[in-house]
Structure 1
Amino acid sequence: MKRRGLFFLQLGFTLFVCAFLIVPMILSIMAGLTVNYFVGIESGLTLRWVMEVWNGYRDTIFLSIGLALACLAATLVLGIPAAYVLAKRQNALTRAIEELLVMPVAVPGLATALALIVTYGSLSGFRTSWAFILVGHVLFTLPFMVRSVLAVLMAIDLKTLEEGAASLGAGFWERFRDIVLPNCRQGILAGSLMVVTLSMGEFNMTWLLHTPFTKTLPVGLADAYASLRLEIGSAYTLVFFIMIVPLLLAMQAFAKPRPAKFVAEETE
């Protein structure tokens, strides 16, 4: 009886925490769908504010999607080989490099953005382009790709697999393509979804790096709340949720470990 009471107490606390986190988001979404937020749902439901966001801010949405995809491509090209080298050569130097890769995550985004401006701010064409924001996003998200792939590579006997392939005549690129990439696929998928999600939602660094012509979705969201009526800002939040929530769900689904039997079958 006591254990049953403890269970319901824990369940009630969990539901309270979930409500504490979810209810504000629901109210924010509803504000973007009501005719007048201050009157409430009695004023009626409408998609007018969503359409105003789309008509006035769709450039920020497309820019965020483009930046996220470009950031993903850059982190794949840089992160997978880096994780491979770190997994292959475990020594003091590679451990130090691994720790340095995490620095952009530990340092506040505003500090990283300021460092980029001080270093490259004199390059006017580069400073005012979306590529400048991309550099910041890559610096911020690269550790997540490297760590995701590295965790998978460290969990398998990579040395034995490569030696077996080499004994059958496989060259370096064949081993990398046919052995390394398939075995770290789970880490690549998890890292990719994390990179895209973080890039689309990154605000602190982007706020300092952006120009009036390179506003991303989070920066536009902040501007909407600061300068427009609440309903439009809330509709902007709804658009952001529609884009980001499926990515978060997919990231959790792909991050789940696969059954050992399935992994063994793939490596045979």
Structure 2
Amino acid sequence: MNSVVRTARAPNLPHRRALTLPSLPAWLAAGQWLVTLLLCAFLIVPVVMSILAGLTVNYFQGVASGLTLRWLGQVWTQYHASVFLSLEVALATLAITLVTGVPAGYVLARSQTRLSRIVEEFLVLPIALPGLASALALLVVYGGFTMFRTSVMFIIAGHVVFTLPFMVRAVAAVCASSRLRTLEEGAASLGAGFFTRFVTIVLPNVRPGIVAGALAVVTLSIGEFNLTWMLHTPETKTLPVGLADTYASLRIEIGSAYTILFFIMTMPLLVAMQWLGVDATGQRSIRKKTRASAAPTNPPDQP
């Protein structure tokens, strides 16, 4: 009798589900996310705190002292000339690197000689050297020309030396593609001359590399400090040099407000690089185009 009752009541008892632990790949993925978030916090929190310092009335009292745009206004009044000078230097540097870097990248990508590799290594050399060393070399060679030394062209020359490798590498990476070589050979077989091929075939197809190189050149030129600090004069003070001056004033609110101004100028360039889908060598756009051209197309429906 008791066994019958236990058998009848057994289906009414709650069913206990077995607990399953996450698999090893799940633990690894969670660990990667945790490390990534901690690293992002380590990098982003100081930037956020610096921005807040430039917007607070008193840094030592924090946000409780109130928010203000006073420091931004003061920085703009004192250093707006440095902002416009930095833009002038960046645009002039971009123009020179476009005129010289695009043809150089094309030639280096097409040439397979040992001389071209040596020239490429010399072009990349300024990146490996500290900015102070490059500036010192310019001072030793051209410092005796007073008019050139005291003009903004001296800083532009230094920026061209520093940023030209980024334009050359970005363009050369695109020009090395076999697809572009095939298009050129096809145009040459139809009677197109070198200039016609370069304008109508090469330049449109290397546009991702040119855009990537241009954004890198402008961003690096605006933010370059070491080389510019060595080459500048009181009349040619750019944005990073002015930033160093504001922090030397021992007023952290002014320095942080200057950082906000610097942030406003550089962030659109970085966002543009992401939005256009290009990296420092233009390879991301190349891969996208390759995948798009290799994607199978659906044949039209047959009647």
TM-score category by the smaller chain? over 0.9
Deviations 1:114-173, CA, capped at 9 Å, x for gaps: 010111111111101110000000000000000000001112333332221122222221
Q: Is structure 2 residue 238 aligned with structure 1 residue 216? A: yes
Which runs of 5 or more structure 2 residues have no equivalent in the other structure?
1-21, 279-283, 295-303
Match for residue 190 of structure 2? 168
Alpha-carbon offset, residue 230 of structure 1? 0.8
Query: How far, CA to CA, are the matches of 2:66 and 2:227 in structure 1?
Result: 38
Deviations 1:188-231, CA, capped at 9 Å, x for gaps: 00000000000000000000000001000000000000025110
Alpha-carbon offset, residue 4 of structure 1? 2.3
TM-score, structure 2 normalization: 0.84
Q: Which amino acid aligns with 1:168?
A: L
Alpha-carbon offset, residue 91 of structure 1? 1.1
Query: How far, CA to CA, are the matches of 1:218 and 1:156 in structure 2?
Result: 41
After TM superposition, the structure 1 = structure 2 runs for residues 174-213 of structure 1, keeping only pairs within 5 Å, are 174-213=196-235
Match for residue 74 of structure 1? 96
Secondary structure in 1 matching 2:47: helix
Match for residue 267 of structure 2? 245
Query: How far, CA to CA, are the matches of 1:6 and 1:166 in structure 2?
Result: 54
Query: How far, CA to CA, are the matches of 1:174 and 1:87 in structure 2?
Result: 19
Alpha-carbon offset, residue 252 of structure 1? 3.1
Alpha-carbon offset, residue 263 of structure 1? 6.0
Query: How far, CA to CA, are the matches of 2:178 and 2:243 in structure 1?
Result: 43
Q: Is structure 2 residue 125 aligned with structure 1 residue 125? A: no
Q: Which amino acid aligns with 2:223?
A: G
Alpha-carbon offset, residue 3 of structure 1? 2.8
Deviations 1:50-85, CA, capped at 9 Å, x for gaps: 011111000000000111111000000000010111
Query: How far, CA to CA, are the matches of 1:6 and 1:87 in structure 2?
Result: 41
Which runs of 5 or more structure 1 residues have no equivalent in the other structure?
none
Q: Which amino acid aligns with 1:82?
A: A
Query: How far, CA to CA, are the matches of 1:149 and 1:261 in structure 2?
Result: 20
The partner residue of 1:147 within 152, 161, 169 is: 169
Q: Which amino acid aligns with 2:98?
A: L
Match for residue 33 of structure 2? 11
Match for residue 259 of structure 1? 289
The partner residue of 1:226 within 248, 256, 267 is: 248
Secondary structure in 2 matching 1:231: helix
Query: How far, CA to CA, are the matches of 2:181 and 2:65 in structure 1?
Result: 66
The partner residue of 1:20 within 37, 42, 48 is: 42
**Identity percentage over the alignment?**
62
Deviations 1:223-266, CA, capped at 9 Å, x for gaps: 000025110100000000011011112123331323326568xx
Match for residue 59 of structure 1? 81
TM-score, structure 1 normalization: 0.95
RMSD: 1.5
Alpha-carbon offset, residue 17 of structure 1? 0.7
Range with bigger deviation, 30-39 or 160-169: 160-169
